[in-house]
Structure 1
Amino acid sequence: MDDIVRQAIAKWPNVPDCYGWLGLDARGNWYMRDDRVQALGPFAAAAGGSPASKGSRLQHEKLIDFIQRNYESDARGCWFFQNGPQRVYVELETTPFVWRVHPDLSVVAHSSEPAQVRTCVLDETGRVYLETNLGFGLVHTLDTGWAAEAVERALWMPQEIEAQALPARFGYVVSPQSLARKAG
């Protein structure tokens, strides 16, 4: 976490949390979701239900870097961006991390942080996930060939798990906004 963020938390400790305004998609892209977009529906498409309502894709590199440096999870498994004294909870399309796999089979998060693979998971649709020292995430669709290479070399041994069971199994919340509504 940035020092300036720590200082803001100390100066203003009681700023209310923000829900629904920021999303992370399955390709590691960040989206800003204003009131109008939120009213259109959830960030992630519901299985067999409503389509996704993502919002505006963030493209300002310094803003994205700031978000990614201050991206953490709370004790409930809800991921957030600590924006000064305010926690901005992140709606996830799939998982808290999106992994890029390089030709040497090294793994890097959407935030460019290197990660060490602990577990490989395969869901019923063939999507590949990795549990790492940083957390749990989906392998980027462009890198599934490299993931297959790691499996063929027996570096990763995929465990089959249904996609709906992943959040509970790996301790993350896809929609902190929905969780807050239920609690409130």
Structure 2
Amino acid sequence: MADPKAHLNGKRILAVDDEADILETIEDILDMADVEVARDYASASEKIRTGRYDLAILDIMGVNGLALLDEAVAKGIPTVMLTAHAVNPDTLMSSIRKGAISYLPKETLAELDDLLEELLAAQAAGKPPWKLLFDRLGGYFDERFGPDWKAKDKNFWSDFSRTWEVGRGIQERLKHDKRIIDKGI
């Protein structure tokens, strides 16, 4: 029987949040992985610069998560944004533009292992993790932001929907992927 958490087992994950209880919950939920934590921007930035991680999970508020996202993407670390206070269309779009592989509301924390497993499996199979996110949580975003929340930025969302696999965020990650850089692409 296949391991149900095969894409998370043994992974080195950096979790960054200014709330200790959130970090403890992440560590408990992701007990099949090697989770390191940071509670502030400076220590998280240092860990990103000096460590090797298979995944980063970043809060947005309180730790300057969008700046950390830039740093993680530059190091080729797949990054998931996890937030409560910054759940809004603008930070969602910023996360996409900056190269995050997903954007999860903290309300989904209890499902974090399942969501990450699916996202990492999709990414490993060459499937767009953002499509999976919207398939799973599109109703949540519609309820939270209103049914026509994409209308304000319809050109962005139209382009994004057409180019799941070649979005700017993916292009940004590819610029830092040593497997591609080494090939001269």
Taking structure 2 as the reference length, the TM-score comes to 0.34
Per residue, is there more helix in 1 or in 2?
2
Q: Which has the larger radius of gyration?
A: 1
Per residue, is there more strand in 1 or in 2?
1
Taking structure 1 as the reference length, the TM-score comes to 0.35
